[in-house]
């Protein structure tokens, strides 16, 4: 059984709880589809990450990768936990600002930041810009000279490490759209240009090898390559980096047959590698930054849907359809991502019906989960897809002109609406009729 269920309880009526709140009550009060987060899980994960670094006695920074789930309430929550965050667009930066998130704790990523985005970031006195390419480097150099404004920067490097994950979410290999290539010397060239730029204050280097990674080897390999880069920079350019940012990507459990490593296994391995290489090379141990997204929010939410139609194809498959789908969770269609599901209103009934869960979108690929063992489903039941806290709501769309779902935060038996359900009026609010 997924971590989700052991985290959550079931009440006497056989209803699944989230943060102590009965999911059938949530469905009644807020409607479906609905994302329901247990915020205590988010907080606990952050505390856990912090404790690993504290124990290792190294300087560190945890920067929540807000693309995983970015709303006003989420930035507020992260801020209360006193960690940094990273953004990848003006929209995320604007949301963080509106939430009162301190701009000096924000890093800005992106492989094609526009002049308007860079200007907005400089207007906010953003904490750090992670420069991705030569075009951005010259834009930022020019902008900061025009404004006579200093800004902290790092460069994103592609270390030439292939993480073992879906190819669409693997980013550390040489053949990637992200970052300066390490092997061909582009990273060195970028450093030289930054050191010559009067208003760019170079902190160090960043890499991110991919997402939903289950083995330490890729992280250790990346830490090794990046440390050698920093050591080389000191020898070649007399530049001593103060920060090594190793990105996010720590895998979480979505299904029973997945067995992810605990975050401490990944992080301890990274810390060990960095410490060893710094002492062996007499290089001051840099501040280690990580950018977890999925591992902070992924297991904290479930998606709730109402079961509608069903279809049984003799000797082939039984389908049930729910009132959401690829518009609120594109991951199965995009990455063949697997999830576990339960009938949240029938948790105490035997799960002996094998069904596949279809969405309501006009695409055959709109499936949320295949071959699930559920209590016998009927129309009106409440289906929960587990572990949907990361890259669910943040990747939601209005495909087929379906409104995007609402989001609630739950804790200690109480719920709070943090994103309203889109209305039909919202669906047409940007459209303009012909004259």
Ligand X SMILES: N[C@@H](CCCC[NH3+])C(=O)O
| C-alpha dist (Å) from residue 212 to 28, 68, 249, 401 | 34, 12, 5, 30
Q: Annotated binding residue at 335?
A: yes
Q: Report yes or no: 296 and 42 within 8 Å, Cβ to Cβ.
A: yes
What DSSP state is assigned to residue 103?
G
**Binding residue (CB under 6 A) for ligand X from 53, 391, 393, 409:** 391
- Partner that binds at residue 19, options ligand X, ligand PLP, none, CB closer than 5 to 8 Å by kind: none
Q: Annotated binding residue at 272?
A: no
**Binding residue (CB under 6 A) for ligand PLP from 71, 295, 341, 372:** 295
Q: Would you count residue 206 as binding ligand X (CB under 6 A)?
A: no
Q: Annotated binding residue at 349?
A: no
> What burial class does residue 167 get, using C-beta atoms within 10 Å of its C-beta: 0-12 exposed, 13-18 middle, 19+ buried?
exposed
The rounded distance, in Å, linking the Cα atoms of 336 and 320 is 19
**Binding residue (CB under 6 A) for ligand X from 52, 78, 131, 169:** 169
Q: Annotated binding residue at 332?
A: no
* Backbone phi, psi, residue 43, to 5°: -60, -40
Q: Would you count residue 92 as binding ligand PLP (CB under 6 A)?
A: no
- Partner that binds at residue 247, options ligand PLP, ligand X, none, CB closer than 5 to 8 Å by kind: ligand PLP
Q: How many residues bind ligand X (CB under 6 A)?
A: 7
The rounded distance, in Å, linking the Cα atoms of 278 and 55 is 18
Interaction with ligand X in 55-74: which residues (CB under 6 A)? 67
Binding letters toward ligand X, positions 274-313, x by CB under 6 A: ----------------------------------------
- Least Å distance between CB 250 and ligand PLP? 6
The rounded distance, in Å, linking the Cα atoms of 302 and 388 is 5
- Select from 62, 106, 110 the least CA-distant residue to 89: 110
- Least Å distance between CB 58 and ligand X? 25
**Binding residue (CB under 6 A) for ligand PLP from 65, 243, 333, 337:** 65
The label of the residue with tokens 């090898």 reads 209
Residues linked to residue 384 through DSSP beta bridges, in sequence order: 304, 342
Q: Would you count residue 218 as binding ligand PLP (CB under 6 A)?
A: no
Q: Would you count residue 208 as binding ligand PLP (CB under 6 A)?
A: yes
- Least Å distance between CB 247 and ligand PLP? 4
| C-alpha dist (Å) from residue 236 to 159, 214, 330 | 19, 35, 46
Q: Would you count residue 207 as binding ligand X (CB under 6 A)?
A: no
Q: Would you count residue 331 as binding ligand X (CB under 6 A)?
A: yes
Q: Would you count residue 109 as binding ligand PLP (CB under 6 A)?
A: yes
Render 355-424 in DSSP notation, one character per residue: EEEE-SSS-TT-EEEEEEEES---TT-EEEE-S--SSSGGG---GGGPPPPEEEEEETTEEEEEEPPPPH
Q: Report yes or no: 43 and 389 within 8 Å, Cβ to Cβ.
A: no
Closest CB to ligand X among 202 and 300?
A: 300
Q: Would you count residue 45 as binding ligand PLP (CB under 6 A)?
A: no
- CA Rg value for the chain: 23
Annotated binding site for pyridoxal 5'-phosphate: 249, 291-294, 391
Q: Residues annotated as binding site for substrate? A: 294, 331, 335, 363, 391
Please report, as ranges, the residues that interact with ligand X according to CB under 6 A.
67, 169, 211-212, 331, 335, 391
- Applying CB under 6 A, the residues found at the interface with ligand PLP are 65, 68, 109, 208, 211-212, 247-250, 291-295, 390
């Amino acid at each position: 059984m997924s971590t989700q269920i052991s985290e959550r309880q079931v009440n006497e009526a056989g209803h699944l709880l989230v943060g102590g709140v009965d999911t059938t009550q949530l469905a009644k009060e807020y409607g479906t589809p609905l994302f329901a987060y247990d915020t205590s899980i988010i907080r606990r994960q952050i505390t856990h990450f912090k404790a690993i670094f504290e124990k290792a006695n190294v300087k560190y920074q945890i920067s929540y990768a807000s693309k995983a789930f970015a709303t006003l309430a989420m930035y507020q929550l992260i801020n209360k936990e006193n960690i940094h965050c990273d953004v990848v667009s003006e929209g995320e930066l604007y949301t963080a600002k509106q939430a009162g998130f301190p701009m000096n704790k924000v890093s800005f990523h992106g492989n094609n930041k526009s002049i308007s985005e860079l200007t907005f970031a400089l207007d906010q006195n953003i904490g750090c810009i992670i420069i991705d390419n030569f075009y951005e480097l010259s834009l930022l150099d020019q902008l900061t000279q025009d404004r006579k404004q200093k800004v902290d920067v790092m460069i994103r490097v592609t270390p030439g490490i292939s993480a073992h994950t879906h190819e669409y979410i693997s980013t550390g290999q040489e053949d990637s759209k992200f970052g300066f290539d390490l092997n061909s010397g582009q990273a060195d060239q970028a450093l030289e240009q930054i050191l010559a730029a009067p208003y760019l204050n170079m902190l160090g280097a960043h890499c991110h090898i991919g997402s939903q990674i289950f083995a330490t080897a890729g992280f250790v390999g990346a830490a090794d390559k990046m440390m050698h880069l920093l050591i080389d920079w000191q020898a070649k350019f007399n530049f001593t980096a103060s920060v090594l940012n190793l990105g996010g990507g720590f895998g979480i459990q979505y299904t029973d047959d997945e067995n992810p490593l605990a975050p401490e296994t990944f992080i301890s391995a990274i810390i060990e590698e960095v410490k060893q290489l710094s002492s062996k090379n007499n290089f001051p141990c840099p501040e280690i930054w990580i950018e977890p997204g999925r591992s902070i929010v992924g297991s904290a939410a479930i998606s709730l849907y109402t079961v509608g139609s069903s279809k049984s194809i003799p000797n082939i498959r039984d389908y049930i359809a729910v009132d959401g789908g690829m518009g609120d969770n594109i991951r199965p269609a995009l990455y063949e991502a697997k999830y576990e599901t339960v009938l949240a209103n029938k948790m105490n009934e035997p799960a002996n019906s094998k069904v596949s869960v279809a969405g309501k979108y006009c695409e055959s690929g709109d499936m949320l989960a295949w071959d699930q063992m559920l209590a016998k489903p009927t129309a009106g039941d409440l289906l929960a897809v587990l572990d949907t806290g990361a890259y669910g709501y943040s990747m939601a769309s209005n495909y087929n002109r379906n409104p995007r779902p609402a989001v609630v935060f739950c804790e200690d038996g109480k719920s709070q609406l943090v994103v309203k359900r889109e209305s039909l009026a919202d669906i047409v609010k940007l459209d303009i009729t012909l004259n």
